[in-house]
């Protein structure tokens, strides 16, 4: 606000609404279902005095400009301000809407020259989003209160995000590792001190060319090792080529959140909070309050001509013309991009992070530096590499090798090694997006005539890994890819399901809690369309259609609400109550003799006396699963981590530290006698070296 005032001078007054001033009431849905779904807005509590002050300023003004954020929500706030201040009733004063993508003098003054009316299509798109979210929340949440416990909530986007996390958890828990092998061969190269290590590729086909072969087990791998014992190895082909690595695109909201998580270990909420500070302005020594970045809620990678020219000039002056990208990259539009704003970039590329470091907090500096580097790199030329692929053929020493099958000659086998060498660093002079895998170093003078001597084989067993748990960054990427939500919704969505304890975050990973599992189960059973990613993505497309003036906003609501209401009525009849609390047990309260009941707290179940408040007795609830601890023989029980994630641990904790994330089975491994874990419809030995797997209820003989 101070920054804008400084740009405009003393003839302008600048005042802030501090966000929304009107909203639907909290005490009820606030939508008149019987009268064309008309929303009933009220002044937000605590905003009365602020609005009163704004009205006094309006009376003094000759002209009023509404300059809220340049997105749909900002457009709606301007519309609400216009209504709350009764600006339509003022006949002698012009009211205009202005927007700017960055808080710079040029952008602000240009916006005044391009003042316009409020765009009601954008307002209606935001109204529709708000009404749909209110309908989902206020219709479904009472069902969760009745069937589970009070204080829970459902949401149009949050419920889909919860389902995605739950589905990933199911995928991980039911994943059965598959064995595979790798085979490396290390050679001594004549005339070189550096050994050469190549990986097994496959077998020679009838035409002598390599055919890819996957190594599935130890027997297959050792057959190749044995077949090549004492054999001859030679270089069949060396292929050299050049490849480029294009510079990254500038940041959008989603990619900024992802990269800040990966590089800076920031949560999505923290990233947006700090970015908001950089956008609104920071006190810079000798310059006053300065806005450092452009608008932070965007799905566009577009850059203004002025910013493009400034970046090109900066790169040429500081790094040389060879580092300037010949033509700026453009992102391929996928139909889900609104492209209403520019990418997130510094307002002035000549404002180097190091120059203003002393004026920023550590977190502000790190995020600004990330944004600055990414933008500069996005305007720089590609990095160039020379790649070399060496193909090595191994021939058996004896055509009658014992490794041959049915007297057939053991075929030649191929090994390959690839290496790359940086020729020109390009954008990596400024910004390294991620570390490339370490490339092997090939000795100088290596060619097809080089003599190879086998030093050793290195066969290794591996197991396939399940998809990783979602992190905040990968969940944002998945939401964006599926068209669920928009830049302004990613951080609030994740924050909400964390606050509701439907999920927990440990390290960077997101895990489903027992409560989240129950809520997701109810949503999938009773409201399948609400948690269907495709349905939610299609709804976002309809909102885009409203913003473009192609779809009537009330038509969307008219088509949505009746089905939702019918599903709620049906759920109230058919859904059984989840006994997550107040279930009576055989445990007797030592203080008053009542049967203790199961309660559900922030960290899971516990036992409490039903005589509260007269009796305050509580104790831990141990849910035994009928399996003994393989370390000490005590019972394994269901436990909850401090953040609410279910696991299975020894009742003798802390003396015994045994714990596993999958549920142990009473059935012992028939191969090694060890613990078996339940993974979907299969039982898997907890000892990965054993690797025994069977379907539930199936004997070892049947499995074979």
Q: Which residues are catalytic?
A: 295
Which of 443, 532, 547 has its CA nearest to residue 483? 532
671 contacts 685 by C-beta, under 8 angstroms: yes
What are the residues whose beta carbons fall under 8 Å from the beta carbon of 364, sequence distance 6 or more?
A: 274, 277, 278, 282
Backbone phi, then psi, for 635, in 5-degree steps?
-70, 140
Q: What DSSP letter does each residue of 296-352 carry, written as one string? A: S--------HHHHHHHHHHHHHHT-GGGB-SS---PPP-S-----SPPB-BS-TTS-
Six-digit token string for 375: 């933008």
**Helix locations, 482-577, DSSP H:** 490-499, 514-526, 533-547, 553-574
Residue with tokens 């809407």: 97
307 contacts 342 by C-beta, under 8 angstroms: yes
Backbone phi, then psi, for 391, in 5-degree steps?
-110, 120
3-state secondary structure of 635: strand
608 contacts 625 by C-beta, under 8 angstroms: no
Buried b vs exposed e over 86-106: b needs ≥16 C-beta within 10 Å?
ebeeeeeeebbbbbbbbbbee
588 contacts 578 by C-beta, under 8 angstroms: no
Question: Do the bridges between strand 42-43 and strand 63-66 make them parallel or antiparallel, or are there none, so unpaired?
Answer: unpaired
225 contacts 215 by C-beta, under 8 angstroms: no
Q: How far apart are CA 176 and CA 305, in angstroms?
A: 53
Q: 600: number of CA atoms within 13 Å, CB side? A: 18
Which of 259, 283, 248, 250 has its CA nearest to residue 101? 250
Buried b vs exposed e over 510-532: b needs ≥16 C-beta within 10 Å?
bbbbbbbbbbbebbbebbeebbe
What CA dihedral angle connects 485, 488, 492 and 497, to 10 degrees? 10
Six-digit token string for 289: 């309050």
- Asked, as a colleague might, if the bond just before 63 is cis with ω within 30 of 0, I would say no
**Longest distance between any two alpha carbons in the chain, whole Å:** 104
Helix (H) or strand (E) holding 183: strand 179-189
Q: What are the Cα distances from residue 695, in Å, to 346, 412, 676?
A: 57, 39, 12
């Amino acid at each position: 606000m101070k920054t804008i005032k400084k740009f405009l001078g003393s003839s302008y007054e600048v005042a802030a609404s501090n966000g929304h001033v009107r909203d639907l009431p909290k005490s009820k849905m606030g939508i008149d279902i019987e009268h064309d779904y008309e929303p009933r807005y009220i002044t937000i509590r605590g905003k009365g005095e602020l609005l009163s002050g704004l009205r006094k300023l309006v009376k003094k003004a000759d002209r009023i400009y509404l300059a809220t954020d340049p997105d749909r929500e900002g457009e709606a706030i301007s519309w609400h301000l216009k209504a709350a201040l009764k600006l339509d009733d003022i006949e002698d004063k012009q009211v205009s809407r202005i927007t700017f993508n960055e808080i710079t003098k040029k952008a602000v003054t240009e916006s005044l020259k391009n003042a316009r009316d409020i765009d009601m299509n954008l307002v209606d798109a935001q109204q529709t989003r708000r009404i749909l979210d209110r309908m989902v929340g206020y219709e479904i949440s009472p069902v969760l209160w009745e069937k589970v416990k009070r204080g829970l909530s459902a949401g149009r986007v949050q419920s889909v995000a919860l389902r995605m996390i739950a589905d990933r958890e199911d995928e991980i828990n039911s994943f059965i590792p598959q064995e595979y092998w790798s085979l490396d061969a290390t050679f001594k190269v004549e005339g070189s001190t550096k050994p050469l290590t190549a990986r097994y590729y496959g077998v020679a086909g009838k035409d002598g060319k390599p055919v890819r072969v996957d190594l599935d087990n130890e027997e297959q791998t050792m057959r190749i090792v044995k077949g090549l014992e004492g054999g001859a190895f030679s270089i069949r082909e060396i292929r050299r080529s050049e490849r480029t690595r294009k510079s990254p695109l500038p940041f959008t909201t989603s990619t900024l959140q992802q990269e800040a998580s990966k590089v800076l270990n920031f949560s999505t909420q923290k990233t947006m909070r700090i970015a908001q500070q950089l956008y609104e302005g920071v006190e810079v020594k000798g310059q006053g309050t300065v806005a450092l970045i452009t608008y932070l809620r965007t799905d566009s990678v577009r850059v203004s001509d002025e910013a493009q020219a400034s970046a090109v000039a900066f790169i040429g002056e500081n790094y040389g013309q060879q580092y300037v990208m010949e033509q700026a990259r453009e992102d391929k539009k996928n139909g889900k991009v609104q492209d209403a704003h520019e990418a997130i970039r510094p307002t002035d590329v000549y404002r180097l992070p190091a120059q203003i470091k002393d004026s920023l907090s550590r977190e502000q500096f790190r995020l600004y530096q990330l944004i600055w580097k990414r933008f500069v790199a996005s305007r720089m030329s590609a990095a160039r590499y020379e790649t070399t692929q060496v193909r090595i053929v191994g021939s058996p020493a004896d055509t009658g090798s014992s490794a041959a099958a049915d007297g057939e000659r053991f075929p030649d086998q191929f090994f390959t090694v690839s290496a790359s060498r940086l020729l020109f660093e390009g954008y990596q002079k400024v910004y390294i997006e991620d570390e490339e895998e370490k490339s092997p170093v090939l000795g100088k003078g290596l060619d097809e005539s080089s003599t190879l001597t086998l030093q050793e084989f290195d066969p290794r067993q591996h197991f396939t890994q399940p998809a990783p748990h979602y992190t905040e960054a990968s969940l944002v990427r998945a939401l964006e890819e599926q068209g669920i939500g928009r830049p302004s919704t990613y951080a609030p969505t994740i924050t909400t399901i964390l606050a509701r304890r439907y999920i927990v975050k440990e390290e960077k990973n997101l895990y489903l809690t027992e409560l989240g599992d129950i809520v997701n189960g109810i949503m999938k059973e009773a409201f399948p369309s609400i948690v269907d990613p495709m349905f939610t993505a299609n709804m976002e497309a309809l909102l885009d259609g409203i913003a473009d003036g192609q779809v009537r906003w009330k038509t969307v609501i008219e088509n949505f609400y009746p089905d939702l209401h019918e599903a709620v009525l049906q759920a109230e009849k058919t859904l059984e109550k989840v006994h997550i609390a107040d279930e009576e047990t055989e445990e007797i309260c030592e203080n008053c003799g009542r049967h203790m009941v199961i309660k559900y707290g922030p960290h899971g179940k516990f036992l409490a006396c039903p005589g509260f408040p007269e009796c305050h007795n509580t104790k831990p609830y141990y849910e035994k699963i009928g399996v003994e601890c393989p370390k000490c023989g005590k019972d394994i029980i269901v436990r909850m981590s401090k953040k609410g994630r279910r696991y299975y641990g020894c009742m003798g904790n802390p003396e015994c530290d045994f714990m596993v994330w999958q549920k142990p089975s009473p059935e012992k491994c028939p191969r090694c006698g060890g613990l078996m874990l339940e993974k979907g419809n299969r039982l898997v030995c907890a000892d990965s070296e054993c690797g025994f797997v069977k379907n539930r209820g199936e004997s070892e003989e049947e499995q074979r």
